[in-house]
Chains A and B, each alone.
Chain A
Amino acid sequence: MPIERLFIANRGEIAVRIVRAAKSLGIHTIQAHSEADADMLAVRLADEGVEIGPPPAKKSYLDIDALVAAAKSVGADAVHPGYGFLSESAAFAKAVDDAGLIFVGPASGTIERMGDKVAARQAAETAGVPVVPGSDGRVDGVDAAVAVAAEVGYPVMLKAAAGGGGKGIRIAEDEAELRKLAPQAKQEAEAAFGDGGLYVERAVMNPRHVEVQIMGDGTDAVHFFERECSLQRRRQKVWEEAPAMCLTDETRAKLCQSAADLARSVGYRGAGTVEYLFEESTGAFFFIEMNTRIQVEHPVTEMITGFDLVQEMIRVAGGAALSLTQADITMSGHAIEVRLNAENPELDFLPMPGEIAALDLPETDGVRFDHFLYEGYEIPPFYDSLLGKLIVHAPDRDAAIDKMASALKTLTIEGVPTTAALHMALAADPDVRKGAFHTRWLEPWLADGGLKSQQTGG
């Protein structure tokens, strides 16, 4: 049954995005909000607003009972979880389902399966998606580690089986080094976790983060090509592009096909992203995980393909079959998105909420700004610092970078600090221009004064 009354269980820019998409489909929109968010743009744009709890997210946007009760009380027939918060909570999807409402996303069982590292890796392998080759579970002793390494190829990474946080991780270039490092890694793992068990897997050197947008209707699934999000700070993406310039057409075809195959094999419904590590030196790609939600960076995909992903995920949630086939989806040009956060890059990205004193947005063809701001809006301190996403689309990557630089110059947001200076410095950086970066490029660049050298160099 097509959705008629959609409850939006999120906030910020993605809530605005969802309200707009739903309205363009003729759907009545009901925006959930905490006590601190009564003034937010999505509440003003939606047909109705409903308060769900106090400002802290755990008492509002993360409170499953409060959200489901509110959705029922306003007579909603569907719930859109957005990204973050409860978007990948199988328990929330199930609670919505149990209340007789539609969850705009995959079935709770799919969320659970893809959210479990081991189960997701198995699902990927079953669908023929390459995973990082390594030991099947823990290895016992140095000789066993050497045997696995010989099979998967050097360099290999040694990881603490009980681990996390980088403790006990070693990279060995060859057998001699592995024989030397394995005992050290074991000792460190024992000290840190009381468990000296190790995993051995092929090390992916200077990996680039490439991800494929997919959409499924529970039966069929298609891909919308890939994005590259290698520029990250503290594991947060800051600059995203589509397509990924590092892929050959042949690799792109294989990578995107593998993502669609995985989505189809798990009976995926809704929008999702399959994330990979890409190793440029060998052209190999490996599955990392699947995100079972719409992602922050989905607009770059919309720019190069011309499709509205949020509308499509709402349609399929309402029971419709995919409105397009793989052959309908083509890409043109190059798109870049940057995340503008209310943070001061000069003060180690200290976030600072405040009131939007002035707002002037670039209005040019091929420039889009997804945000939740208006003049006089007081940004609350309780949630993340994302103000909006500036997205540009141009015939090629060079033109897109130029367009981003000029859009950043035109954009005015006063009253709060923003990360615009970071993006201007990135747009002016020769390595970024060449696309010579990987997931561990940005932090050393910042530590080496990347921001300052660009400012003084003009």
Chain B
Amino acid sequence: MADIQAPAPGTFYHRPSPEEDPFKAKGDTVAEGDVIGLVEVMKTFVEVKAETAGTFGGYVADNESAVKAGAVLATVES
């Protein structure tokens, strides 16, 4: 199992926009480089990408929660 960590501190979003579905759901196939969420830092949205392929294990950090750089946001099972 691999952790996906926050690339920057800020606010973590599961969805591309409030009206849309989360980027991933538990059990989804994940390819390397897939976007699984966004971190808003200083008015900039940074894409959070999976670094390994596998199956999405779910979000660890809540939607719209404040996260620190390096915090575990989600997991991928290989």
Which residues does chain B contribute within 8 Å of A350, judged by CB atoms?
7-8, 41, 44, 46
Do the beta carbons of A381 and B10 come within 8 Å of each other?
Answer: yes
Do the beta carbons of A352 and B43 come within 8 Å of each other?
Answer: no
Interchain CA distance A343-B43 in the complex, whole Å: 12
Which residues does chain A contribute within 8 Å of B7, judged by CB atoms?
350
| Residue of B with least CB distance to A384 | B43
The interface size bin for chain B is 10 to 19
A289 to B: closest C-beta gap in Å: 21
| Residue A445 interfacial (CB < 8 Å) | no
Interchain CA distance A383-B43 in the complex, whole Å: 6
| Residue of B with least CB distance to A349 | B44
Task: Out of B9, B11, B43, B46, name the residue touching A385 (CB < 8 Å).
Answer: B43
Do the beta carbons of B44 and A353 come within 8 Å of each other?
Answer: no
Q: Interface size on A (CB < 8 Å)?
A: 11
B51 to A: closest C-beta gap in Å: 16
| Residue A40 interfacial (CB < 8 Å) | no
In chain A, positions 364-388 with a C-beta closer than 8 Å to chain B are 381-385
Interchain CA distance A110-B40 in the complex, whole Å: 34
Give 1 or 0 for each of B13-57: 1 = CB within 8 Å of chain A CB.
000000000000000000000000000011110100000000000
Interchain CA distance A343-B9 in the complex, whole Å: 13
| Residue A304 interfacial (CB < 8 Å) | no
Most central of B7, B41, B46 by chain A CB within 10 Å: B41
Which residues does chain B contribute within 8 Å of A352, judged by CB atoms?
8-9, 41-42, 69
| Residue A333 interfacial (CB < 8 Å) | no
Which residues does chain A contribute within 8 Å of B44, judged by CB atoms?
350-351, 385
A263 to B: closest C-beta gap in Å: 31
- List residues of chain B with CB under 8 Å of any chain A CB: 7-11, 41-44, 46, 66, 69
Q: List 25 A-B contacts (CB under 8 A).
A: A342-B42, A343-B42, A350-B8, A350-B41, A350-B44, A350-B46, A351-B8, A351-B41, A351-B42, A352-B9, A352-B42, A353-B9, A353-B10, A353-B42, A381-B8, A381-B9, A381-B10, A381-B41, A382-B11, A382-B42, A383-B42, A384-B42, A385-B42, A385-B43, A385-B44
Q: Which 3 A-B pairs rank lowest in CB-CB distance, beginning with the nearest?
A: A351-B42, A385-B42, A381-B10
